[in-house]
């Protein structure tokens, strides 16, 4: 039986995810932090893919997730567009400079291409980057989601100083 929080603490959005194992891993992280997973658009795997289930282990039945066939279908479910943050290596602002609140939406693009340039142009003030100093173009999406959601979690649950 699915045990799902009434209101997700955060929403993780994967736009056209391509690799089932990554999505399974992300789903497991979502269960651990009471986040809802939104899969948007065409998937590069079958939702019953064994790699997806393997990466999610026995947590998958507890995952609150929804597949939205199109961007527009997903976007209609967002109550406050200002609380949506788009993660990109092209962002000028670090996720550590972004002020997250419970209920926020963290959006990640497909593994091979990231988010479409049109999305980056449409939401320039809502982009967040994960700072990296080494010679890599990007992180694995499951790692990036974990960094993003754990920073949002830290900001919203840690005691504030000063």
From first to last of the 162 residues of the chain, give the pLDDT tens digit. 455 546 899 999 999 999 988 998 999 899 999 999 999 999 988 777 566 565 555 677 788 999 999 999 999 999 999 999 999 999 999 999 999 999 999 999 999 999 999 999 999 999 999 999 889 888 999 999 999 999 999 999 866 555
* Model confidence pTM above 0.75: yes
Residue 68 dihedral angles phi and psi, to the nearest 5° = -100, 120
Residue 81 dihedral angles phi and psi, to the nearest 5° = -55, -20
Among 136, 120, 115, smallest CA distance to 14 is for: 115
Domains of the chain in start order, with CATH, are 10-157 (3.40.1280.10)
Separation of first and last alpha carbons in the chain: 43
Cα 114-116-120 angle, rounded to 5 deg: 100
């Amino acid at each position: 039986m699915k045990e799902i929080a009434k209101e997700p603490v955060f929403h993780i959005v994967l736009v056209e995810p391509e690799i089932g194992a990554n999505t399974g891993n992300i789903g497991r992280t979502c269960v651990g932090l009471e986040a809802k997973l939104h899969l948007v658009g065409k998937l590069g795997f079958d939702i019953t893919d064994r790699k997806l289930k393997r990466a999610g282990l026995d947590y998958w039945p507890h995952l609150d997730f929804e597949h939205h066939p199109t961007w527009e279908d997903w976007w209609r479910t967002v109550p406050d567009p200002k609380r949506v943050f788009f993660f990109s290596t092209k962002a000028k602002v670090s996720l550590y400079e972004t002020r997250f609140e419970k209920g926020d939406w963290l959006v990640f693009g497909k593994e091979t291409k990231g988010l479409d340039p049109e999305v980056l142009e449409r939401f320039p003030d809502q982009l967040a980057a994960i700072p990296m100093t080494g010679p890599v173009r990007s992180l694995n999406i499951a790692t990036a989601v974990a960094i993003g959601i754990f920073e949002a979690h830290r900001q919203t649950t840690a005691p504030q100083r000063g």
